Amino acid sequence: MSEPIDSKTWRRIYVATVAYGLLTIAALAWFTAAYA
């Protein structure tokens, strides 16, 4: 991370992180439905 990251890229990173959090919950819900 030698170059500063612009605010637009940070926004994309945040959206990706929130999407990752939601996908994790969806994946765990599927796992629960499949095995529990």
Partner 1 sequence: MHWLDWLLIAVLPAWVVFDGVRRSRAHTGLEGFFLAGRGVRWWAVGMSVMATQASAITMISIAGHGYEHGLRWLHVYLALPFAMVILCTTVVPWFTRARVFTAYEYLERRFDGTTRTCASVLFLVSRGLAVGTSLYAPSIVLNLVLGIPQALAIALMGGVSTAYTIFGGNAAVIFTDVKQMVVMFLAIGCSLYAALQGLPAEVGFGDALALAGASGRLQAIHVAPDAAHVFADRYNLVAALIGGLFLFLGYFGADQSQVQRFLAGKSVEHSKASLLVSAYLKVPMQFGVLLLGALIYVFYMFAPAPPFFRTADLERAVVAAGAPEQAEWQRLRQEFTAVGERRAAAALGFVQQHEPRDPAALRQQNERVREVRAEARALYGRLTGSTEGDGDFVFPHFFLRQLPVGILGLVIAAIFVAAMSSLDAQLNSLATSSVIDLYARARPGVTEGAIVRASRWATLFWGLFATVSAYWVASLGQMIEAVNVIGSMFYGSLFGVFVLGWLCPRARGRDGWLALAGGFAATMFTHFVVNAEPIELDGRKMPPVGFLWYNVIGCAGVLVVGNLLAWRHRGR
Which spans of this chain sit near partner 1 (rule: CB under 8 A)? Answer: 1, 4-5, 10, 13-14, 17-18, 20-21, 24-25, 28-29, 31-32, 34-36
Distances (CA, A) of 30 to 16, 18, 27, 34, 36: 21, 19, 5, 6, 10
The nearest distance, CB 7 to partner 1, in angstroms, is 10
Nearest approach, Cβ of residue 18 and partner 1 (Å): 6
Least separation in angstroms between residue 10's CB and partner 1 is 8
